[in-house]
Structure 1
Amino acid sequence: MHQGTATCPAVFIAAPASGQGKTTVTAALARYHRDQGRTVRVFKMGPDFLDPMILERACDHPVDPLHLWMVGEEDCRAMLRAAAETADLILVEGSMGLFDGDPSGADLAVRFGLPVLALLDGSGMAQTFGAVANGLATWRADLPFAGVIANRVGSPGHGRMLGAALPEGMRYFGAIPRDAEVGLPDRHLGLVQAAEIDDLEQRLAKAAATVAEAGVTGLPEPVAFEPQALPAPEPRLTGVRIAVARDAAFAFLYPGNLRLLEALGAELRFFSPLAGEGLPEADAVWLPGGYPELHLETLAANTDLKADLHEHHRTDKPVLAECGGFLYLLDGLANIDGPRHPMAGLVPGSARLEERLQGIGLQAAPLPEGELRGHTFHHTRAEVDLEPLAHCVRARDRGTAAEAIYREGRLTATYLHAWFPSNPEAVAELFRP
């Protein structure tokens, strides 16, 4: 690892709430600067899979999460420092509102000296725009604040009015006009997966052109990132073949989780249940989260994979199933109003998609192998005829039981999406044959 600090222009793109357009604008800026020949690295504050898919397409680099509790301060510092070594620009997209959560985006920005660029939806607003911007800038005295962008303005005159409402001395980066062709579609878990947006490249190109025309593309000030030494994980999975489901139904994979498994020495063998593929030769299986509820008939029809998983489990080989993967291992899964479709049948029970959110939040799984940190976010409700091994513990309401963790032999299933680097030793033990 290089010694000393590394400097790189960097900014934390935040907002007062969700739905202000953070992902679209962050992606637009990433694509604009990439097209100018710059190396752009983008991070996402907090647990997320869908936004990073869009952002990865915009900047052509994997997008990792930054979170002081789930990822940890040392790992966050190490990832930022590594990015600063090669990047010309670092963008960090916030989550929800700037001060929401514990720890919040503001905590992250303060900890690493990331100047906050506030993105405010200016539609239906006039002078109050200045009051909101002033509140974000001054709520914490130690917050580094870069300035403000107005989003979804109705006209150039509207944009000028919003800029004039800002407190004296606050930098106004400009106004981005409202444009339906630039926005990104969504569904019950958030944005649609990048691979499912047929015109994503056109949308990104249009978004980049829009921010360029609005003149909001100036590079932020350089930030100094301190070095962070992290011990290399012991290669305890050398030679272990891990079959990893990866397609539109099982797409929620943190790049950092894949990197850790490879650093532990594992050989990753990807397969697609939706393509009708069976289980590749493997010593362990990882079924990550995704959208199995959108592909019920196709998954139900892949009887070869179901048989392979039963044989794998019968021979006491490890299986880790997270959220969508957990749903797939149940006896059956149903959409909101549809019939129950037969799934793999390794975990007794069934689940149904509900209208309302059924689980959300940062949680830790107290496994026998060690604690794994992660998060949950799902609209399905599962009824499982199996006594839980344990329950996750919420990060915010510490000590409050949350998602159940089921275990039968070497099979572990839960709604939790784990951040593997939070405990490499526990991950190695989970997948060890």
Structure 2
Amino acid sequence: MNRDAGARAILVAAMASGQGKTTVTAALARKLVRQGLRVRVFKCGPDFIDPMLLERASGAPVHTLDLWMVGLDECRRRLHDAARETDAILVEGVMGLYDGSPSAADLARAFDIPVLAVIDASAMAQTAGAVARGLRDYGPVALAGVVANRIASEGHANMVAASLRDIPLVGWLPRQDTPLPERHLGLVLPGEVDGLEDLLDRLADALHFNEQAWEALPLMSQSAAEWPDVPPLLQGRTIAIARDVAFCFLYPANLDVLQKMGARLRYFSPVADEAVPPDADAVFLPGGYPELHCAALANAGHWQASVRAAHAHGLPIVAECGGMMALVDGLTDKDGRRWPMAGLLPGEVLMQSRLAGLGAQAMPTPQGPLRGHTFHYSRLETTTPPQEHTVKTSTGTQGEAVFRIGSLTASYFHSYFPSNPPAAAALFGGGPA
């Protein structure tokens, strides 16, 4: 494959979730990397799990692109930086191509990114053409072609290709004996997939891909996009961040902006019963899957004692979703077993099969709104009154409760710190000198 002076970009989308967007994006990323190209993958919309897998497939951090949460200007800066530094840019869409406001289609149109439509053809043949034409014309979007997923045979692929008429079949992927497993609306954590590297290589090998169609894509704009200065509001402060299999929902951009504001980041593992580092000036407990590691967290005496001591000494503690779940009195898992947690927030968290919160929201702060989102399958039962609530972007109505107990700020809400660096700094005790 030729290596030009610039990057070609594509947005991988579909008619709905479950069509195979992540599988196709990961397979294509690994295929391009193995051909010697520098590849950068982005994820459209709030997500933590898919980016972890796409990072493994591409070998580079995966940042979020979202016209509301991230903002038009930051999206442009990230794309243009990638266009100067790499050969290929893949953006995985979210849900269906036109779902949400803003949608993946809105992002594609904002930056003139051609769309690659993934169609699950396992239960169709010629109807794939109708689906593809609908995806192209409804918006419309610039449709570069189709990748047909879960194809039964080469003959099946040929029927799909014939149905597309003036839309090229850029590639197809056969049905997989070992597909990427799913959890909730996303994938399981990459570290939980045995033989992930081999699986990614097999997907890349199995992907029939038209290299000429890729090379026919236009090169993306590389215009300079200046990043704004970030004030050193956290200069000299050390933030201890829980980071392990239970606390892994961390936007790379959140960590970047904390460091740009001068913070020193120290990581520790509650699951491994590691205490909050003694030199910490603040603590960040991000989301993740504490409900899958209840026994380890319940028996982590050093971790629990250290976070209670940090709270008693007035260290700012920011606990998001899974981080908050680890600080209640007890967590009842999906099997109905209750496990004692750290007990900083009076109340009980109960897992449930039904989705309890989903969508873009903003948290009001004295420094202005801090944008983010919510996504959780548990509910909190507490008599502690919330100090405030986030605001749902879609309706303007009340969103997630935000609890403040002493130096603790806890909520199901996941913040995107670059949307308001001064507000993020204030959560961790930083501010103007």
Instruction: Give TM class, smaller chain.
Output: over 0.9
SS at match of 1:370: coil
Deviation larger for 292-301 or 119-128: 119-128
- Which of 154, 171, 196 is the aligned partner of 2:168? 171
* 1:248 partnered with 2:242: no
C-alpha deviation, 1:38, in angstroms:
1.1
SS at match of 2:220: strand
Counterpart CA distance in 1 for 2:106 and 2:54 is 22
8 Å CA contact 2:68, 2:102 repeated in 1: yes
Q: Name the % identity.
A: 52
SS at match of 1:248: coil
Counterpart CA distance in 1 for 2:329 and 2:218 is 55
Equivalent residue, structure 2, for 1:106: 105
CA deviation vs aligned residue, 1:17-69 (integer Å, no higher than 9, x gap): 00011101100111111111111000000000110000000011000010000
- Which of 305, 309, 312 is the aligned partner of 1:307? 305
Counterpart CA distance in 2 for 1:370 and 1:221 is 39
C-alpha deviation, 1:188, in angstroms:
2.7
8 Å CA contact 1:159, 1:174 repeated in 2: no
SS at match of 2:371: strand
* 1:330 partnered with 2:328: yes
C-alpha deviation, 1:278, in angstroms:
0.7
Any gaps of 5 or more consecutive residues in structure 2? none
SS at match of 1:276: coil
C-alpha deviation, 1:180, in angstroms:
2.2
Counterpart CA distance in 2 for 1:21 and 1:152 is 9
Which amino acid in structure 2 is aligned with residue 207 of structure 1?
L
SS at match of 2:80: helix
| Distance change (3 Å), C-alpha of 1:432 and 1:176 | same
Counterpart CA distance in 2 for 1:330 and 1:65 is 30
SS at match of 1:247: coil
| Distance change (3 Å), C-alpha of 1:276 and 1:216 | farther
Equivalent residue, structure 2, for 1:379: 377
Counterpart CA distance in 1 for 2:267 and 2:183 is 26
Counterpart CA distance in 2 for 1:351 and 1:389 is 19
* 1:431 partnered with 2:428: yes
Equivalent residue, structure 2, for 1:96: 95
Counterpart CA distance in 1 for 2:274 and 2:87 is 41
* 1:420 partnered with 2:410: no
* 1:298 partnered with 2:292: no
Equivalent residue, structure 2, for 1:391: 389
Counterpart CA distance in 2 for 1:27 and 1:411 is 38
SS at match of 1:270: strand
C-alpha deviation, 1:216, in angstroms:
8.9
Equivalent residue, structure 1, for 2:206: 210
C-alpha deviation, 1:214, in angstroms:
7.7
Counterpart CA distance in 2 for 1:144 and 1:225 is 20
| Distance change (3 Å), C-alpha of 1:161 and 1:174 | same
- Which of 175, 180, 187 is the aligned partner of 2:177? 180
SS at match of 1:126: coil
CA deviation vs aligned residue, 1:403-427 (integer Å, no higher than 9, x gap): 1010112210000111110100111
Counterpart CA distance in 1 for 2:391 and 2:408 is 20
8 Å CA contact 2:363, 2:371 repeated in 1: yes
CA deviation vs aligned residue, 1:356-390 (integer Å, no higher than 9, x gap): 11111111111334311111111111112211111
C-alpha deviation, 1:128, in angstroms:
1.3
C-alpha deviation, 1:226, in angstroms:
3.7
Which amino acid in structure 2 is aligned with residue 34 of structure 1?
V
Which amino acid in structure 2 is aligned with residue 57 of structure 1?
R
* 1:275 partnered with 2:300: no
Counterpart CA distance in 1 for 2:185 and 2:112 is 31
- Which of 343, 346, 349 is the aligned partner of 1:348? 346
8 Å CA contact 2:172, 2:208 repeated in 1: no
8 Å CA contact 1:14, 1:97 repeated in 2: yes
Counterpart CA distance in 2 for 1:329 and 1:216 is 54
8 Å CA contact 2:52, 2:189 repeated in 1: yes
8 Å CA contact 2:26, 2:200 repeated in 1: yes
Deviation larger for 333-342 or 210-219: 210-219
Counterpart CA distance in 1 for 2:11 and 2:312 is 49
Equivalent residue, structure 2, for 1:3: none
8 Å CA contact 1:369, 1:430 repeated in 2: no
Number of aligned positions between the proteins: 424
8 Å CA contact 1:175, 1:214 repeated in 2: no
| Distance change (3 Å), C-alpha of 1:174 and 1:304 | closer
* 1:69 partnered with 2:65: no
* 1:138 partnered with 2:137: yes
Which amino acid in structure 2 is aligned with residue 184 of structure 1?
L
* 1:257 partnered with 2:240: no
Equivalent residue, structure 2, for 1:159: 157
Which amino acid in structure 2 is aligned with residue 38 of structure 1?
L
Counterpart CA distance in 2 for 1:83 and 1:275 is 36
Which amino acid in structure 1 is aligned with residue 397 of structure 2?
T
8 Å CA contact 1:189, 1:378 repeated in 2: no
Deviation larger for 282-291 or 230-239: 230-239
Any gaps of 5 or more consecutive residues in structure 1? 1-5
| Distance change (3 Å), C-alpha of 1:210 and 1:218 | farther
| Distance change (3 Å), C-alpha of 1:213 and 1:430 | closer
Which amino acid in structure 2 is aligned with residue 259 of structure 1?
D
8 Å CA contact 1:149, 1:216 repeated in 2: no
* 1:200 partnered with 2:196: yes
C-alpha deviation, 1:212, in angstroms:
4.5
SS at match of 2:369: strand
Counterpart CA distance in 2 for 1:381 and 1:23 is 29
Counterpart CA distance in 1 for 2:136 and 2:127 is 14
Counterpart CA distance in 2 for 1:246 and 1:302 is 15
Counterpart CA distance in 2 for 1:340 and 1:352 is 9
Which amino acid in structure 2 is aligned with residue 374 of structure 1?
G
Which amino acid in structure 2 is aligned with residue 325 of structure 1?
G
SS at match of 1:71: helix
Equivalent residue, structure 2, for 1:235: 232
Deviation larger for 190-199 or 70-79: 190-199
TM-score, normalization by structure 1: 0.95
| Distance change (3 Å), C-alpha of 1:97 and 1:324 | same
Counterpart CA distance in 2 for 1:175 and 1:198 is 25
